[in-house]
Amino acid sequence: MKEKVLTEHFGLENLYKIDVYQKQGGYRATEKALKKMKPEEILDEVKKANLRGRGGAGFPAGVKWSFVPDTDKPKYLCVNADEGEPGTFKDRYIMIHNPHMLLEGIIITSFCVGIHVAFIYIRGEYEAIALRLEQAISEAYAKGFLGKNILESGFDLDVFVHRGAGAYICGEETALLESLEGKRGNPRLKPPFPASVGLWQCPTVINNVETISNISHIILNGAEWFVKKGLPKDGGTRIFSVSGMVKNPGIYELPLGTSLKDIIFKHAGGMKGGKKLKAVIPGGMSAPILTADEINIKMDFDSLVEANSMLGSAAIIVIDDKTSILDVLKVVTKFYSHESCGQCTPCRIGNSWINKIVKRIADGKGKKEDIDSILRLASNIEGNTLCPLGDAAAMPILSITKKFRKELESHL
Amino acid sequence: MIKIFMDEEPVEVEEGTTVLKAAERAGIHIPHLCYHPAFPPEGSCRMCLVEIEGFPKLELACSTVVKEDMKISTKSARVVEARKAVLEFLLAEHPLDCPICDKAGDCKLQDYYDEYGLFESQFKEAKEKREKKLKIGKTLILDQERCILCTRCVRFLKEVTKTQELGVFHRGVHSSVNIYDGAAVVNNYTGNLAEICPVGAITDEDFRFKIRSWFLEEGESICPLCSRGCNILIEYHPGFPRFNVPKRVYRIKARENPEVNGFWLCDRGRYGYSYLDEGRADQIILNKIEGENVLTWENISEYLGKKIKSL
């Protein structure tokens, strides 16, 4: 059984062109879905595959689609290609190497949910990738995979690429919708959830690039095959973005449930320059940090929740013993303070306040009570904000401060 | 009607009511800053968080709709803590210039700190510097440092006047309300902005620094300046003309009446009250006195005393 799913053909010359992609079996899934399957059958298959969202929250994709109500209003699909979570660089690989795999996922998803307009919201910095997507889209139109009456199935779909303007918050699904509507990217109050009230107040499905890219493989090979690739409750593989002090940083597509230790020491070649492992951020910067003693852990949603961390976007940031944890905390607090949209009180002022304290400690003006202040402020942010950015900031700050308290105190 | 439990007391409310409105009906005040009954819930100030049984997180009272048998706590330790935390965050970047703030005595932030805060400040860092005296309209002054970003003003101009002269600029702690490229707030409803601002961020030059709000009393009335009949509140100095204050009426405010004017009042009605004090007899004039024929409130008692004794 082949190991890789999404990255299998990466590296193949001109894979991004539709002819090469089709030679590898591309668009067969689209044909199967549109010609031989009913939307309900597709939904059933995706549900059975236990495909959980790859953006960070891990919400089952099929369940999300089933929340879309049956209305006369137009429905939309937004593919979240904002990829703002620090440490994450998997979606860009998918889009640059294999944009048609994403398009296939978009076509099948749209067909399943009854969507006729789809958007790819891509972060502004990915200019070249946006161009590549545009090329792929025009190729797909030319071959009749997009546009009116796709493959004579009577199904119409248009896909648009929309570039963001560089705000982390626009990766949050409702802020993404606001931004796509041309407004300031502030998150919306939930409920209502986008599945019922989304883009232009219409039902909207929002999925991450990697999530959507899995769809064609599920359709082609079946849910059972997909579940076997990962775990019963958490199907498929995951693309891990490994960065930091490892010999071979990069993306690694591995089954869900692969141990963190193996990813760092086997797949990524171990520590760079014989350095010692100090800590790992296992799921993008928002995920609570793990110490070197905690890396004997399976990388899947549930195992990491048990370890009081999270799989998030599966971005593994490896920190060595020469790196000061105060520097890590400084980067973390500066980032969230800078990226808070400013809409709700705890996130806007809390993150800036914590950042000011950490900067002061780094300037050598730390006070004894500062560590407790950081902990108190971060717990006052956690759970009390309008959108998940507050939690995303509080979780790493709390875990870093608690687990490395002694080292931080040595700076006071 | 459905039954819910508000701080363990059973309350009957209509289906579809929010927790905040249900609480108000039960006589429980849930503090809130960004919520205004004229607009849909915004949920940004986080002041109205309450605990609801079965929900892992604290929920917003302004946007959560009640359900049968919902058990809501507005006074639990978690709620009290969260309120304090929000106040602490708001006050951390607030200039705390109440003594020179025109809104003092009339300010929700001040009231809430008094009722739900009363902690010592732990904020030892430098506060953000912003514009303190921006003229944003004919009579409106914006102090960005006092602003708590409830965005009531922005939403008023977006949803009521639909003129959208104000916006939120920048991000995070640098977020601030401002006008676009120096283009002032120009419409016939600008005075409402100072009225709905819960803090001292937007003040009105028509009222600013003329008198402290706690010296005033208010009376209900109807605006006589056009045929619409908007419901108003007249804020006046009860001691005029006996006390040494220049006028009687200091401010006209809108009084809620959903069938006539909603929550709002036009600028003509709000600022056109000067006739109330003009040309009125505010002095005691005695025609039959020899010599000086104007008496003041200070020497009238002497004059009257003499008159009475002479009887």
Q: What is the pLDDT of residues B163-220, one digit of tens each?
A: 999 999 999 999 999 999 999 999 999 999 999 999 999 999 999 999 999 999 999 9
Tell me the shortest Cα–Cα distance from A348 to chain B, in angstroms: 5
Helix axes B77-92, A370-381, angle to 10 degrees: 110
B284 touches chain A (CB under 8 A): no
Residues 6+ apart with CB under 8 A from A225: none
CB contacts of A337 in chain B (<8 Å) are 172-173
Task: Please state which of the ranges A162-166, B222-226, B290-294 shows the lowest mean pLDDT.
Answer: B290-294
In angstroms, the CA A371 to CA A401 distance is 7
pLDDT of the residue at A375: 98
Tell me the shortest Cα–Cα distance from B86 to chain A, in angstroms: 6
Tell me the shortest Cα–Cα distance from B140 to chain A, in angstroms: 23
Tell me the shortest Cα–Cα distance from B120 to chain A, in angstroms: 13
Q: Where are the beta strands (DSSP E) in chain B?
A: 2-6, 9-13, 49-52, 59-60, 71-73, 134-135, 140-142, 166-169, 176-179, 202-204, 217-222, 231-236, 249-254, 284-285, 294-295
CB contacts of B43 in chain A (<8 Å) are 189, 344, 386
pLDDT reading at B289 higher than 70: no
CB contacts of A338 in chain B (<8 Å) are 171-172
CB pairs under 8 A between A and B: 93
pLDDT of the residue at B286: 65
Rounded alpha-carbon distances, angstroms, from residue B260 to A44, B233, B263: 54, 14, 9
B290 located within any domain? no
B293 located within any domain? no
pLDDT of the residue at A308: 95
pLDDT of the residue at B256: 97
On whether both B174 and B271 belong to a single domain, the answer is no
Q: Please compute the mean of the pLDDT values over residues A18-41 and round it to a whole number.
A: 96
pLDDT of the residue at B59: 97
Determine the residue among B20, B45, B46 to mutate to test chain A binding: the one whose Cβ has the most chain A Cβ atoms within 10 Å.
B46
pLDDT of the residue at B293: 61
Q: Please compute the mean of the pLDDT values over residues A33-56 and round it to a whole number.
A: 96
**Residue where a domain stops, chosen among B159, B186, B204:** B204
How many C-alpha atoms does B150 have within 13 Å on its Cβ side?
Answer: 30
Measured between CA atoms, the residue of chain A closest to residue B147 is A345
CB contacts of A351 in chain B (<8 Å) are 172-173
**Residue where a domain stops, chosen among B145, B179, B204:** B204
What ipTM describes this predicted complex?
A: 0.93
pLDDT reading at A287 higher than 90: yes
B200 located within any domain? yes
| A232 and A255 Cβ atoms separated by less than 8 Å | no
**Structure token pair of residue A63:** 């369940």
| A68 and A196 Cβ atoms separated by less than 8 Å | yes
Determine the residue among A341, A343, A357 to mutate to test chain B binding: the one whose Cβ has the most chain B Cβ atoms within 10 Å.
A343
On whether both B146 and B159 belong to a single domain, the answer is yes
Q: Domain range spanning residue B6?
A: 2-90
CB contacts of A356 in chain B (<8 Å) are 125-126
Q: In 3-state terms, what secondary structure has residue B3?
A: strand
Confidence of residue A364 (pLDDT cuts 50, 70, 90): very high
In angstroms, the CA A81 to CA A291 distance is 30
Confidence of residue B303 (pLDDT cuts 50, 70, 90): confident
pLDDT reading at A1 higher than 90: no
Amino acid at B232: I
pLDDT reading at B240 higher than 90: no
* CA B129 to chain centroid: 25
On whether both B104 and B187 belong to a single domain, the answer is yes
pLDDT reading at A125 higher than 80: yes
**0.90 cut: is pTM over it?**
yes
Q: Per-residue pLDDT tens for A221-240?
A: 999 999 999 998 899 999 99
| Nearest CB to A342 within list B123, B167, B171 | B171
On whether both B172 and B98 belong to a single domain, the answer is yes
B310 touches chain A (CB under 8 A): no
B253 located within any domain? yes
B307 located within any domain? no
B100 touches chain A (CB under 8 A): no
Contact state of B60 with A344 under an 8 Å Cβ cutoff = no
Average pLDDT value for chain A: 96
On whether both B191 and B219 belong to a single domain, the answer is no
In angstroms, the CA B123 to CA B119 distance is 11
On whether both B120 and B169 belong to a single domain, the answer is yes
Amino acid at B300: I
In angstroms, the CA A26 to CA B295 distance is 101
pLDDT reading at B31 higher than 80: yes
On whether both B107 and B67 belong to a single domain, the answer is no
How many structural domains does chain B have? 3
pLDDT reading at B282 higher than 80: no
B291 touches chain A (CB under 8 A): no
| A121 and A176 Cβ atoms separated by less than 8 Å | yes
| A375 and A401 Cβ atoms separated by less than 8 Å | yes
Residue % of chain A over a pLDDT of 70:
100
pLDDT of the residue at B287: 58
B117 located within any domain? yes
Q: Can you give the CATH number for the domain in which B146 is found?
A: 3.30.70.20
Q: Please compute the mean of the pLDDT values over residues A289-305 and round it to a whole number.
A: 95
pLDDT reading at B278 higher than 90: no
Q: Please compute the mean of the pLDDT values over residues B42-69 and round it to a whole number.
A: 96
Q: Per-residue pLDDT tens for A254-283?
A: 999 999 999 999 999 999 999 999 999 999
Q: Where are the beta strands (DSSP E) in A223-267?
A: 237-244, 250-255
pLDDT reading at B132 higher than 50: yes
Torsion of CA A256, A261, A266, A267, to 10 degrees: 40
pLDDT of the residue at B251: 96
Contact state of A349 with B90 under an 8 Å Cβ cutoff = yes
Beta bridge partners of B231: B222
pLDDT reading at A359 higher than 80: yes
Measured between CA atoms, the residue of chain A closest to residue B151 is A343
Residues 6+ apart with CB under 8 A from B90: A345, A349, B45, B109, B148
Confidence of residue B276 (pLDDT cuts 50, 70, 90): confident
| B24 and B39 Cβ atoms separated by less than 8 Å | no
Q: Please compute the mean of the pLDDT values over residues B300-304 and round it to a whole number.
A: 80
Contact state of B89 with A345 under an 8 Å Cβ cutoff = yes
pLDDT reading at B288 higher than 60: no
